[in-house]
């Protein structure tokens, strides 16, 4: 049985947020993604992305933050 199977299923929501957070950090180190964009994405994921399907308005806000961060990246 793998590590994942032994994890309690009831903890999945928090676990999902942690997991995504961790993976984005790894991805940040592997790619030249501006730190601001990664922070915005992590914040969004931690707060909402694992809980529910996000409405268009919220996605638009995050998309704009990502866009701003890549436009202003040195």
Partner 1 sequence: MRIRELTLSWFRGAAAEATLPTSDKSMVVFGPNGAGKTSFVDGIEFLLNKGKIDHLSHEYARRLDDAVVNTHAPATATRRVALKTDDGSEVAASIAPGGAPRFSGEEVVAGWSKRRVVLRQDEVSEFVHQSKGDKYSALLPLIGLGPLETVAANVRALAKRFKEEAKLDRLAAELDRMKEDWGRAFPGMDRAAVGEAIKELHLNYLPGETMPGSIGSALAALRPVLEARVAGLTKEHAQHLHITTAHEAGLSECVAEAVLASEKAAALAQPLLEERLAVLKSASAFGSKIQDDDTIACPACGSSVLAADFNAHVAAESARLESATTAFEVRRAAFSRLANAVATAKSALGRPDMDAWRSAPQQVPIAAALAVLAASDADRLREGMPPEDLAQLRDAVLAISRHLADCVRAVPPSVEALVRDQKSIEAASSHPTMRAHTERIGKIRQMMEFLADAEAQVRAEIKDRTEAVIASITTDMQRMWGILHPAEPIDQVRLYQAEDAEKAIDIALRFHGKEQLSPRLTLSEGHRNSLGLCVFFALAKKDGRDLPLVLDDVVTSFDREHRTFVADLLLQEFATTQVLLFTHDHDWYVELRRRLPGKQWGFKVLLPWSDPAAGIRWDPAPYGLGAARALLDSNPTSAANTARSVMDVRMPVIAEQLEIPVPYIKGARNDLRGAKELLDRFQGRVGKHFRKKDAKGNHVPSDEPAVLAKAVTDWLATYGNRGSHGAYLTRPEAERLIVACEQFLSALECPDCGSALWQVTEGDGACRRCDCGALLWKLGH
Chain residues that interact with partner 1, rule: CB under 8 A: 1-2, 4-5, 8-13, 15-17, 19-20, 23-24, 27, 31-33, 37, 41, 44-45, 48-54, 56, 59-60, 62-64, 66-67, 70-71, 73
Contact 42, 24 (CB under 8 A): yes
If you compute the radius of gyration of the chain from its CA atoms, what whole number of angstroms results?
A: 14
| Token digits of residue 7 | 């994890």
Q: Least CB distance from residue 39 to partner 1, whole Å?
A: 14
What is the spatial distance between Cα 1 and Cα 64, in angstroms, rounded to a whole number?
A: 42
- Min. distance of Cβ 48 from partner 1 in angstroms? 8
């Amino acid at each position: 049985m793998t590590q994942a199977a032994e994890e309690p299923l009831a903890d999945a929501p928090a676990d999902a947020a942690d997991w995504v957070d961790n993976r984005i950090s790894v991805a940040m180190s592997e790619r030249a993604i501006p730190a601001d964009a990664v922070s915005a994405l992590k914040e969004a994921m931690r707060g909402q992305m694992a809980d529910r399907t996000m409405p268009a308005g919220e996605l638009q806000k995050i998309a704009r933050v990502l866009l701003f961060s890549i436009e202003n990246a040195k």
